[in-house]
Structure 1
Amino acid sequence: MSKQYIIGIDQSTSGTKLILVNEQGEIVYKDSLKHQQYYPPQDNWIEHDPVEIYDNVKALINKLMNKTIVPSSSLKALSITNQRETVLAWDKHTGEPIYNAIVWQCTRTQEVCNHLKMNGYEALIKSKTGLTIDPYFSATKIQWLLENVESAKEKIANLDLLVGTIDSWIVWKLTGGKTHATDVTNASRTLLYNIYSLKWDRELLDLFRIPEEMLPEVKNCDEIYGRVSDVNILLKDIPISGVIGDSQAALFGQRCFEEGATKATFGTGTSVLVHTDKLMETEKGLVTCVAWGSRWNSQLCH
């Protein structure tokens, strides 16, 4: 029987990496491309060009295929990890973003967050999402896009607009616009996803004035998200299976499968996650989110 391989795409804050992994879990090929960081003149605004990000994903896959390291018939799946909380909005017909992606580090929505805290919404939001009100998370960034980008209102009215985190953008592009989906770990970092019911939360969507119709479907990390069908990619029809936020991917990759197991990741930011088997009330800045979700069970982490 011929050997089988998985392509892994890690789309991070500073660049995009591709690895080719064999059946023994060994990396047999890797490559990477950096993307531009944009700093508008306003204080602490940070953006990425989502078109550049996807072009880099495409270029890395095509470079791998041109090298003919392994036959395409041996490639069994493509998996994605991504920078969390970074969001964008795009036209579902043209595939064109209406604005740059707003990066997780961006604090342009600090005043909105302060207003929500002053009006007593912190307890409600934490009781549903496990998170604190902070511009770090996605909801106020999405709200900013919908309320401040000129073309957004018309596209919303015509049901032409989609929004999502970077993983959902890459999946949508790879599948030629056939799949608008995210995974539970990315959804759990948006301030919009109820980690108890495992659904987009209607009360929170109304609070942030975000129509649910434009949000991605939420799937488990190990589901099939669709098949690669972008005509500009040399890789065709392999399943996209395995989508998970980068910090949770590290938790899983370091085999933190038991309660209390902890990992620390040092990249653009430092991330410490602790696996917990139960829902916990946390204080002093700790937050709770989904560690991973599978067709068999879901786990939480702090």
Structure 2
Amino acid sequence: MTFTLFPDARLALARDSLAGLSVGDALGSQFFVPGRHPADLAADRLPPPPWQWTDDTEMACSVLAELAAHGGVDQDRLALAFAERCEPYRGYGPGAVAILRLIRTGTPWPVAAASAFDGQGSCGNGAAMRVGPLGAWFADSTTRAAAQARASAEVTHAHPEGVAGAVAVAIAASLAARARLGGDLPDPARSLAAVAGALDPAGAVTAGVRRAATLLGRPLPEAVAALGNGSRVTAQDTVAFALWVAATHLSDYPAAIRACVAAGGDVDTTAAIAGAVVAAYTGVGTSGGVPDHWLAAREPLPEWVR
């Protein structure tokens, strides 16, 4: 399917994806509170609002603001936006805080990103957790989605696996938004194969996405055992599982978030990634989409992105 995607349509798709990301992030983060149990969400017993979002949403808002203002990613400008808007109490990891502090105080982002983990660069899930709306923005081109996702990742993640995680999520969100425009429900195995096919064949994230395709239709605990649930806070341990959830529940946003919560681990991040991809397909307030009352319970987004 070839089509022209106008700026207003791009923005609408990206905003829906951001709604799915931010609600998943905010609701998922509530299950780090002692005394809350996944069974509560399974029974639709929701935590009391407002649900506060974390660094996942804060950084995703900067990505969307960059796209809305300029149509694409300028790495210098995006790096500075991440650094200046960073509120450490939002749950940023110590590595991210250190990189963003260096950028904020004048260190060029390539130097700051490369300094992480004794010069290896970060393979964390931060670049993947924030990129879903970018993928939805480029619903007309998975090639552009991949290139722009790479650019958005490199400002903080110098490790190839950290970058690959962002590219994988962006392609999944691009395909989901494209399917929404085309009115189809895509085959989950073909979607995951398309994601894996765009990545480094030898990469660990690639291997995880391929493994996820073999686990479609299998029980959640089996997928967690094979793919991880974000507990190690790496792209390798997070992205394949989140994309398995999204592929399994692409037409049912609440089911996708419930699966992430039930899986445990880095719940806010897996729910943010899966939520961004699914909402790119379902939208908000539709049958199977982000529920209006969930969106109303989420803490409002920053004024500068609204």
- When the two structures are superposed, what TM-score results if normalisation uses the length of structure 1? 0.33
- Greater strand share, structure number: 1
Q: TM-score, normalised by structure 2?
A: 0.33
Larger Rg: 1
More helix by share: 2
